[in-house]
Amino acid sequence: MIRLLSLVLLASVMGCGLGGTGSVPATQADAGEGLNQLRDLLVEAAGVGPAPKKKADIAEYIGRYPAAVAGVDDGSLTVIWGKGIREGLGDDAAIIAHQTDTSGESVWVVRENSEIEKLSVEDFKKEVS
C-alpha cells in the first residue's frame, strides 16, 4: 500500500513540470506497449535519481514495466545510457530511447521532454548521427 501511494505521489509530482501541461504526455498506441512503458519508466527514474546507465538500472523496474525491460533485454528497444527525462525542454529535446529496428519507413522515439514521437528513418538518422 505504501509503495502504491509513493508511486501515485511520484506520478503527480513528475507530471507537474513536464511540458507545462501538468501531466505526462499521452500514450502513443502505435508506438507499442514496450516503448510507452519505457517512456513511463524513464519518467519515474527521473524522479528518483540519475538517468539509467546500464541494463541493470532498467531491470530494477521489471515489476512495473515488464514490456519495457523485455524490449531492452531483447534489443528491440534502445536506451541512450546516461540520458534521461529533463524538464523545461521544448523542440530541442534530444532522443533518449527508440525502437531499435530502423529498416522500415519510420521509427518511434522518446525525447528528453518525455514526448513520444514518430520520425521518418531519414530524420531519425540525421538526428542521432
Q: What pTM did the predictor assign?
A: 0.79
* Integer Cα distance of 43 and 71 in angstroms: 17
Q: Is residue 57 part of a domain?
A: yes
- Which residue segment(s) compose the domain that 111 sits in? 33-128
Number of separate domains in the chain: 1
Q: What is the pLDDT of residues 10-53, one digit of tens each?
A: 444 444 444 333 445 567 889 999 999 999 999 999 999 999 99
Q: Is residue 123 part of a domain?
A: yes
Q: Is residue 106 part of a domain?
A: yes
Q: Is residue 62 part of a domain?
A: yes
Q: Is residue 13 part of a domain?
A: no
Q: Is residue 121 part of a domain?
A: yes
Return all residues near 68 (Cβ < 8 A) that are at least 6 apart: 34, 35, 37, 38, 40, 41, 58, 61, 77
Q: Is residue 27 part of a domain?
A: no
